[in-house]
Amino acid sequence: MKITQRQINKLNKLYDEHHHISEVLSDNIKTVQDRHGEDVMEVEREIPKQDSQGRVLKDKDGKDILEKKKINLQQKLLWKEISVLGHEGHQAADILRHKYPEIWDYKEKELKIANEIKEYSLKNFGFEANKISLRNHIALTQALVKLEIKNAKKAPNIFKILINKIKNL
């Protein structure tokens, strides 16, 4: 494996972008939660059907019989669902995406940059940045040491510079 300073700089730039977008996304989510977390939204959920005495009804297999009902939930509970289930593929995400599309714009940017990091790492280093084996780690370390030695050889020797300055006094 061979690594150049240009590759490292590009990777650092991608990680800096990703970090910035992640912070903006997190700040926006926190702001929305602080401002609107207590707001109530009506959502449709499948909940266990109950008889008149409050007992949950079961089918012949012993599973709860579910019925769709509209219930009121605070937005903070919907955000909690997203933190557990992710930003895609469920009702809480769909509801909040419609209400706060700018947050999903930032999430898409974050995912795009994460994919760029993955592709760049695979192309330039031969492995995904977040899935590094010990073997890849050792090869990467060796390549970085070689780069540092190469850079050190190019750098002027500080002692030679000081001696020349002293001679010129």
For the chain, percent of residues with pLDDT exceeding 90: 55
* Its pTM surpasses 0.75: no
Taking a C-beta distance cutoff of 8 angstroms, is the pair 105, 2 a contact? no
Taking a C-beta distance cutoff of 8 angstroms, is the pair 103, 96 a contact? yes
Sketch the domain layout of the chain as residue ranges.
Answer: 5-131
Pairing of strands 66-74, 40-48: antiparallel
| 132 vs 154: CA distance, rounded Å | 30
Q: Per mean pLDDT, which range of 25-34, 53-62, 83-92, 95-104 is the poorest? A: 83-92
pLDDT tens column, 27-41: 999 999 999 989 999
Q: Which amino acid appears at position 154 of this protein? A: K
SS3 state of residue 47: strand
Taking a C-beta distance cutoff of 8 angstroms, is the pair 9, 17 a contact? no
